[in-house]
Chains A and B, each alone.
Chain A
Amino acid sequence: SQQGEEDPQALSIQEGENATMNCSYKTSINNLQWYRQNSGRGLVHLILIRSNEREKHSGRLRVTLDTSKKSSSLLITASRAADTASYFCATGPLGTYKYIFGTGTRLKVLA
């Protein structure tokens, strides 16, 4: 199966609630990144966390990384309708040039 698999595949919440999505991966990595994709558009980089970091914040985003479990989570606090999008994690396996993307979590925030 793929490196970088997101869970859940789809998530629907009310505006103001928090949204949490998870990513699992298989190999040792240099860093892990989260991207957002609005419907039919390109991906936009949200946040990067390095393998020696455990938690990182950016605005309403909080990312955690557990290298022992090979997993990461993205928390969006106080969600807004504008957060409706697909969210992808991407890993940079050690020693490679590739970014490996998961299949994404589709988030829908209801107003």
Chain B
Amino acid sequence: DVKVTQSSRYLVKRTGEKVFLECVQDMDHENMFWYRQDPGLGLRLIYFSYDVKMKEKGDIPEGYSVSREKKERFSLILESASTNQTSMYLCASSLGLAGLRGTDTQYFGPGTRLTVL
């Protein structure tokens, strides 16, 4: 089975801190995604990566950056955390792409609940 792991389940940070959220998948998937999930808003895509060192902005990239130095690892970086970034962050990976290859299930990590004080 595909396993997607995230570095922390719960994280508390202070405003202005630089925050790193790590995600690792073990199935050699090309594509990795970062979402945030907020009540009433569903999942919103922050960034997407389709290959090592390749990234695309999602719907809400402001205040975030990403890094993908190795295929299995995709990091989300909050350059200067703010209280409105308090949220649940979900990482996912997939072999193919939603509307382009048609197969493709996303596999999710357990999530990181980030609180910014």
Q: Do A and B bind each other?
A: yes
How many chain-A residues does the 8 Å CB contact rule pick out?
Answer: 30
Contact partners of A2 in chain B: CB under 8 A: 42
A-B interface pairs (CB < 8 A), number: 80
Residue of A nearest to B42 (CB): A103
A30–chain B nearest beta-carbon distance, Å: 4
Contact partners of B100 in chain A: CB under 8 A: 30, 95-97
Report Cα–Cα, A102/B97, bound state, in Å.
18
Judging by beta carbons under 8 Å apart, are B105 and A98 in contact?
no
Residue of B nearest to A51 (CB): B102
Contact partners of B102 in chain A: CB under 8 A: 30-31, 50, 92
Interface mask (B24-40 → A, CB under 8 Å = 1, otherwise 0): 00000001010100001
Contact partners of B111 in chain A: CB under 8 A: 40-42
B89–chain A nearest beta-carbon distance, Å: 10
Interface residues of B (CB under 8 A from A): 4, 31, 33, 35, 40-43, 45, 48, 50, 56, 58, 88, 90, 92, 97-100, 102-111, 113
